[in-house]
């Protein structure tokens, strides 16, 4: 990479320009989706700034309330949630919002409604704020194709394959926005001097097979057979290949980001303690599975393709195995063998 040349580039592909280019694929488009995404991007920039100065601004401590998942809420969680809800409502393009932090879905005032439903986790991995580990925002977008006066929760309880777009923004050593509108995956990095997200990772493709596995091995004693066998095989391969490396951050956005760029597999299986898995379907499993498939990987729940799952509750959980195509094939084969 020629950093000197990069520093003098004048033809910059910003996220706004990218989305407008995507819009031209749809001659019937009126720019609603572009406006919605620009509000999501604004929310990401705001949260990025808040995360960067959290220690100084005393935003790190607990807010004193507990969210619907039973997790103690941190001030930054509360702030991030408010920012995204207000940004999405004020866009005038949304009708239903589902946030990890809110027990009930938000139905937008009929006067401000648009045709999109947005599901999001405003600050994933927030237990890592205090120690400076990467955290992030995850989001997914659905479209409602009916009269906006008659919307219901069913309009957002759709399988992941119906998503129109998905992405995440990671707040780490740099602020990185990874997004897909159904035509591949692109990564943008925030240039603080411009206040703009610039295309730095065009057309991300995950390697077909990886050398890394990512799982919380502290739960090993509660795993089911296929997961235990798969992890054993990662550590002690029987085919003479080198063992895989273990990398686990404990912040889904950071773990999935590394998996997307370097290949390998990310696992959060069901176990005896959490028989339905731990990660939430609508705003964690679906957006990340959507991105993985768009990048040439796979996502599997232990029973089916992750994006085929039809959720019945907004905070429903599911096991998830996602990453490089061949690595997910291996875990699928182990589950298939157990079914027999």
Residue 128 binned pLDDT confidence (cut-offs 50, 70, 90): confident
Show Cβ contacts of residue 57 under 8 Å, excluding neighbours closer than 6 positions: 50
pLDDT at 25: 82
* Per-residue pLDDT tens over the stretch 154-178: 999 999 999 999 999 999 989 999 9
Average model confidence (pLDDT) for the chain? 92
Q: How far apart are CA 150 and CA 161, in angstroms?
A: 23
Share of the chain above pLDDT 70, in %: 91
pLDDT at 115: 95
**Position 4 pLDDT exceeds 70:** no
Give the mean model confidence (pLDDT) for residues 13-39. Answer: 89
Residue 22 binned pLDDT confidence (cut-offs 50, 70, 90): confident
Residue 204 binned pLDDT confidence (cut-offs 50, 70, 90): very high
Residue 240, by phi and psi: left (phi above 0), alpha (psi -120 to 50) or beta? left
DSSP 199: E
**Position 318 pLDDT exceeds 90:** yes
pLDDT at 63: 59
pTM: 0.93
Show Cβ contacts of residue 145 under 8 Å, excluding neighbours closer than 6 positions: 115
pLDDT at 56: 67
pLDDT at 160: 98
- Buried/exposed code over 30-57 (b: 16+ C-beta within 10 A; e: otherwise): eebbeebbbbbbbbbbbbbbbbeebeee
**How many distinct helices (H) and strands (E) make up the chain?**
9, 17
């Amino acid at each position: 990479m020629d950093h000197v040349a990069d520093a003098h580039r004048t033809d910059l592909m910003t996220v706004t320009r990218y989305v407008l280019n995507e819009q031209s694929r749809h001659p019937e488009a009126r720019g609603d989706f572009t406006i919605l995404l620009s509000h999501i991007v604004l929310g990401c920039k705001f949260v990025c700034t808040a995360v960067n100065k959290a220690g100084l601004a005393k935003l790190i401590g607990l807010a004193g309330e507990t969210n619907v998942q039973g997790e103690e809420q941190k001030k930054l969680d509360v702030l991030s949630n408010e920012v995204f809800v207000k940004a999405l409502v004020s866009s005038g393009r949304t009708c239903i919002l589902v946030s990890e932090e809110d027990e009930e879905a938000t139905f937008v005032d009929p006067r401000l409604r648009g045709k999109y439903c947005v599901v999001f986790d405003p600050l994933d991995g927030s237990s890592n704020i205090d120690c400076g580990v990467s955290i992030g925002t995850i989001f997914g977008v659905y479209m409602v194709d009916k009269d906006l006066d008659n919307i219901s929760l069913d309009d957002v309880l759709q399988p992941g394959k119906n998503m129109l777009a998905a992405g995440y923004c990671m707040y780490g050593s740099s602020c990185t926005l990874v997004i897909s509108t159904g035509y591949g995956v692109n990564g943008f990095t925030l240039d603080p001097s411009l206040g703009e997200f610039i295309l730095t990772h065009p057309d991300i493709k995950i390697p077909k097979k990886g050398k890394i596995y990512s799982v919380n091995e502290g739960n090993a004693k509660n795993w089911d057979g296929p997961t235990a066998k798969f992890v054993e095989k990662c550590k002690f391969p029987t085919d003479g290949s080198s063992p895989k490396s273990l990398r686990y951050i404990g912040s889904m956005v950071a773990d999935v980001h590394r998996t997307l760029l370097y290949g390998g597999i990310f696992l959060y299986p069901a176990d005896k303690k959490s028989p339905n898995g731990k990660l939430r379907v609508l705003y964690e499993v679906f957006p990340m599975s959507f991105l993985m498939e768009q990048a040439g990987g796979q996502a599997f729940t232990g029973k089916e393709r992750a994006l085929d799952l039809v959720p019945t509750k907004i905070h429903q959980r599911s096991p998830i195995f996602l990453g490089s195509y061949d690595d997910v094939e291996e875990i699928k084969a182990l589950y298939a063998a157990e079914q027999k």
